[in-house]
Structure 1
Amino acid sequence: MSTRAVVVVGAGPGVSGSLARRYAADGWSVGLVGRNVEQVALLAEELGAAGVRVETEIVDMTGPEAADAVRRVAERLGRVDVLHFNPSAFRERDPLELSVPDLLADVALGVGALLTAVQAVRPLLVEGGRITVTGSMAADRPWHRAASLGVQKAGVRNLVHSLDATLRDDGIRAVSVTVNGTLGDDGPFSPDRVAEALVAAARQDEGDWRTEVPYDG
């Protein structure tokens, strides 16, 4: 199969949906992996109605079936040119309220699930492939009332650096885009604008590759 393909992990409304539409507009096939049946189905139906090839899986990315689900999508597409990772957990707890089990559960989704996704698609991630991650200003300027989110975003950015160092000799690069603003329906931090920033980060010149790209709107 020669058509390029993107796999979006954490698919649904917002940035992940906008990114799927953006690649679809360029003629790419799209894989959608998410845990909300209705949200994934609506996005898949929209893309399919536009003539886009879509493959879907419904799964909890912290569960035991996650790797198999991501792998099935990749295998049905036949190749992966871009893997995009979007999940994170928002839990309104400050550090005195946040329990260790809750922190670890959130990190399992916002950081650990990236490992699951990358390891699952690696056999089908082509040379020249890209791994992109939706980052956040919470990595550097966390809100204390959502303490686990800052830990997740700092951790996933750190993991991206390691993934890039591991895969770059195989012609595969990884990048996180740090969104330095609050997402909104319109304006510079709308999902469509952030999606454009993610696509631009994936298309960086290899000689000047940065594993973290800030998006300031």
Structure 2
Amino acid sequence: MTPRCVVIGYGPGIGAAVARRFAAAGFDVLGLARSPGRHAALAGPGIALAAADAADPAGLAAAIPPGTEVLVYNAYAAHLAPPSAQTPATLAADFAVNVGGAMAAIGAVLPGMRRAGRGTILLTGGGLALDPTHWLPAASLAIGKAGLRSLALSLHAELAPEGIHAATVTVGGQVAPGTPFDPDRIADAYLGLHRDPPGAFRAEILFRG
């Protein structure tokens, strides 16, 4: 059976690059996005697109096929305002996507991974999780990425003994071709993490400028 990879938050940059990389490695890839029609030109052989909203936990979970071997969570949300201008509502709405959506997706795949005794969960992190002062208007995103990194590292410790690899790829700069943050280079890191052998699972790969 052809292994399946689901990329949540499919779009230009990391999402499409990861989908291409796993498709080239022999996976059937499903890219989930709020408006998949906008990204149809990015899809290639082995990549199908479907609609799902990371802000809708039940809908997101229902869109993930059974038997998914690799889950990539690349969705995010940000209300751009400095920390003092954020409100409980903006922080909660963004956190619901940045961390809550990831948890909904993980909850959808984890029972099957546990039955199989294997699987990979990869979460797209950001440098703001390490230095939230780097871009103060992205305060809500920084809080979300810090929470997502905590989730990834905690899941790594919990699930590795079960043969399930949870990890984060922390991208500390603007994604652009031909830079240290080239999306194809970053995508190689996702596939590399998936290929880590049991007993040698890495928890994080960090891209810095």
Is the pair's TM-score, using the shorter chain for normalization, greater than 0.5? yes
Residues in 1 aligned to 2:99 and 2:30: alpha-carbon distance in whole angstroms: 20
Q: Is the 8 A contact 2:126 2:172 kept in 1?
A: yes
Q: What are the superposed Cα offsets for residues 147-168 of structure 1, whole Å, 9 maximum, x if unpaired?
A: 0111111100101122223322
Residues in 2 aligned to 1:122 and 1:128: alpha-carbon distance in whole angstroms: 10
Decide which of 82, 97, 100 is 2:70's aligned counterpart. Answer: 82
The alignment covers a number of residue pairs equal to 204
Moved more, 12-21 or 118-127: 118-127
Q: Is the 8 A contact 1:164 1:211 kept in 2?
A: yes
Decide which of 90, 93, 113 is 2:81's aligned counterpart. Answer: 93
Hey, what does 1:67 align to over in structure 2? 61
Q: What are the superposed Cα offsets for residues 135-158 of structure 1, whole Å, 9 maximum, x if unpaired?
A: 111101122111011111110010
Hey, what does 2:37 align to over in structure 1? 38
Hey, what does 1:180 align to over in structure 2? 172
Seq. identity, %: 36
- Opposite residue 58 of structure 1, the aligned amino acid is A
Hey, what does 1:104 align to over in structure 2? 92
Residues in 2 aligned to 1:213 and 1:201: alpha-carbon distance in whole angstroms: 8
- Opposite residue 31 of structure 1, the aligned amino acid is L
Residues in 1 aligned to 2:83 and 2:172: alpha-carbon distance in whole angstroms: 23
Structure 1 residue runs of 5 or longer lacking an equivalent are none
1:138 match: secondary structure: helix
Deviating above 6 A after TM superposition, structure 1's stretches of 4 or more consecutive aligned residues are: none
Counterpart check, 1:121 vs 2:122: no
Hey, what does 2:120 align to over in structure 1? 130
Q: CA deviation at 1:11?
A: 1.1
- Opposite residue 181 of structure 2, the aligned amino acid is F
Per the normalisation by structure 2, the TM-score is 0.89
Per the normalisation by structure 1, the TM-score is 0.86
2:70 match: secondary structure: strand
- Opposite residue 85 of structure 1, the aligned amino acid is Y
| TM alignment of 1:10-25, pairs within 5 A | 10-25=9-24
- Opposite residue 74 of structure 2, the aligned amino acid is N
Question: Cα RMSD (Å) of the superposition?
Answer: 1.8
- Opposite residue 188 of structure 2, the aligned amino acid is E
1:7 match: secondary structure: strand
Counterpart check, 1:57 vs 2:50: yes
Q: CA deviation at 1:209?
A: 2.5
Residues in 1 aligned to 2:63 and 2:39: alpha-carbon distance in whole angstroms: 14
Residues in 2 aligned to 1:144 and 1:169: alpha-carbon distance in whole angstroms: 38
